[in-house]
């Protein structure tokens, strides 16, 4: 199995016309050769599939990549605990996590934001 560390940064939008390197997510997931999240591999590594949400001016939130009933992917934050606070990835199962791709996440405030994949590195590259 090959786990990857994926970094997403806020893409440009009306509030951030140039996007933002200070707002986004870093998470660990098993990726297939084509860049899709491997559900089969995820099942054997759930505890290692962590997420960190970083947002300038706010404390980081730390949690896990989870599979919701019905098959969608989401970020569940350990300290929040409430499933209503999970942040859902829009069609994460269909997206490739490769450099330059865009993905959407519905955040705590029920606003969907677009993020750009800016890094995908093998987990073993991190100490």
- CA 108, 26, 66, 35 torsion-angle sign: positive
DSSP assignment of 38-97, as one string? -HHHHHT-GGG-EEEEEETTEEEEEEEEEE-TTS-EEEEETTT--GGG-EEEETGGG---
Domain boundaries, the chain: 21-120
Bin 54: left if φ > 0, else alpha if -120 < ψ < 50, else beta. Answer: beta
Per-residue pLDDT band for 7 (boundaries 50, 70, 90) equals very high
Confidence of residue 83 (pLDDT cuts 50, 70, 90): low
Confidence of residue 123 (pLDDT cuts 50, 70, 90): confident
Q: What pLDDT does 82 receive?
A: 60
**Mean pLDDT in residue range 40-59:** 93
pLDDT single digits (tens) 11-36? 998 889 999 999 999 999 999 989 99
């Amino acid at each position: 199995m090959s786990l990857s560390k994926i970094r997403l940064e806020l893409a440009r939008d009306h509030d951030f016309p140039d996007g933002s390197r200070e707002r986004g997510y870093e998470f660990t997931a098993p990726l297939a050769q084509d860049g899709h999240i491997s559900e089969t591999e995820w099942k054997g590594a759930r505890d290692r599939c962590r997420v960190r949400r970083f947002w300038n001016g706010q404390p980081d939130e730390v949690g896990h990549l989870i599979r919701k009933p019905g098959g969608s992917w989401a970020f569940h934050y350990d300290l929040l605990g409430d499933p209503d606070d999970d942040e859902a990835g829009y069609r994460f199962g269909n997206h490739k996590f490769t450099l330059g791709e865009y993905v959407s996440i519905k955040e705590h405030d029920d606003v969907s934001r677009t993020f750009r994949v800016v890094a995908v590195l093998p987990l073993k590259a991190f100490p």
